[in-house]
């Protein structure tokens, strides 16, 4: 079990987010709770894994967009090296797009940043207690998918994308250019274009403009 240096009734949280103001706000909110404390912060995979090893937190809050890395990759690393350490995603990205992905990666919950503080604290305590937290809408969709196994329901072509391809497809739906996506994900424009070509091939779409239009329509459909 993760260590606890502040007493049996206080659980220690590591925040992994590359926005200092968000980290500061989260720390202030969490530290106001009698049973929770922020023990440290990190902004990418390397610093997060080192902090986990050094601080031994009871849970990790992870944003999906990190400095020079992906939150999903971090969740996978935590699951591989610290399988008993729960990770809660706290992100601006639409949970309807990423919730199932982070669950498969090993996260125990997902809260969007536009939710009230009480929802985040509720989710945090749930994962600390060994439970899973997702919104009612996501939970219903996941259960519907489980009960639909073997049915003739059509498969969403986006489900065939890798985690990185989904990140790029999602950003295309937000109307970011290849250059903007490369800067956001800290990868080269050529890498973005290679992933974009793979996405087009998987979806049977010929042009990048058609793919961008499809991504925008798909994202609007998920959030609507």
Rounded-to-integer distance, Cα 207 and Cα 195, Å = 14
Same-domain check for residues 40 and 99? yes
Number of neighbouring beta carbons within 10 Å of residue 138: 17
Pick from 58, 146, 152: nearest CA to 100: 146
Percent of the chain clearing pLDDT 90 (strictly above):
56
5 pLDDT higher than 50:
no
> Which domain does 78 fall in, by range?
11-136
State the pairing for strand pair 69-70/65-66: antiparallel
Using DSSP, state whether 88 is helix, strand or coil. Answer: strand
Same-domain check for residues 112 and 185? no
Same-domain check for residues 130 and 168? no
151 part of a folded domain: no
Same-domain check for residues 82 and 172? no
Which of the two residues, 64 and 96, has the higher pLDDT score?
64
Mean pLDDT across 192-216: 91
6 part of a folded domain: no
- Poorest-confidence range of 9-18, 30-39, 158-167? 158-167
Pick from 205, 139, 141: nearest CA to 169: 205
Percent of the chain clearing pLDDT 70 (strictly above):
90
Rounded-to-integer distance, Cα 134 and Cα 142, Å = 10
Same-domain check for residues 109 and 176? no
Q: In what side-by-side order are the strands of the sheet with 36-42?
A: 36-42, 11-16, 59-62, 87-91, 109-112
Each residue's pLDDT tens digit, 118-135: 999 999 999 999 999 998
Mean pLDDT across 42-62: 96
Using DSSP, state whether 38 is helix, strand or coil. Answer: strand
Rounded-to-integer distance, Cα 219 and Cα 208, Å = 16
Rounded-to-integer distance, Cα 118 and Cα 143, Å = 25
Return the CA Rg of the chain.
Answer: 18
Same-domain check for residues 132 and 172? no
74 part of a folded domain: yes
pLDDT at residue 159, rounded to an integer = 79
198 part of a folded domain: yes
153 pLDDT higher than 70:
no
Same-domain check for residues 77 and 178? no
Pick from 16, 68, 92: nearest CA to 183: 68
Statement: the pTM of the whole predicted model exceeds 0.75: yes
Same-domain check for residues 124 and 193? no
CA dihedral 161, 164, 165, 166 (to 10 degrees): 70
Band of residue 98 on the pLDDT scale cut at 50, 70, 90: confident
173 part of a folded domain: yes
Each residue's pLDDT tens digit, 166-181: 889 988 998 999 999 8
pLDDT at residue 41, rounded to an integer = 96
79 part of a folded domain: yes
Rounded-to-integer distance, Cα 42 and Cα 44, Å = 6
Rounded-to-integer distance, Cα 56 and Cα 65, Å = 23
């Amino acid at each position: 079990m993760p260590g606890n240096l502040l007493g049996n009734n206080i659980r220690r949280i590591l925040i992994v987010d590359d926005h200092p103001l968000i980290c500061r706000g989260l720390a202030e909110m969490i530290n106001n709770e009698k049973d929770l404390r922020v023990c440290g912060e990190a902004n990418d995979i390397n610093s997060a894994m080192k902090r986990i090893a050094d601080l031994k937190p009871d849970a990790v809050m992870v944003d999906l967009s990190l400095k020079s890395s992906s939150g999903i990759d971090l969740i996978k690393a935590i699951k591989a090296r610290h399988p008993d350490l729960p990770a809660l995603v706290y992100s601006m990205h639409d949970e309807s797009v990423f919730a199932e992905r982070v669950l498969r990666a090993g996260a125990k919950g997902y809260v969007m940043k536009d939710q009230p503080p009480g929802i985040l604290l509720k989710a945090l305590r749930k994962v600390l207690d060994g439970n899973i937290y997702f919104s009612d809408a996501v939970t219903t969709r996941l259960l519907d998918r489980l009960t639909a196994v073997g049915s003739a329901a059509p498969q969403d072509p986006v489900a065939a994308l890798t985690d990185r391809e989904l990140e790029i497809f999602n950003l295309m739906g937000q109307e970011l250019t290849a250059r903007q996506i490369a800067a956001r994900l800290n990868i080269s424009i050529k890498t973005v274009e290679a992933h974009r070509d793979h996405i087009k091939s998987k979806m049977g779409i010929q042009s990048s403009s058609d793919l961008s239009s499809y991504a925008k329509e798909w994202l609007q459909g998920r959030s609507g």
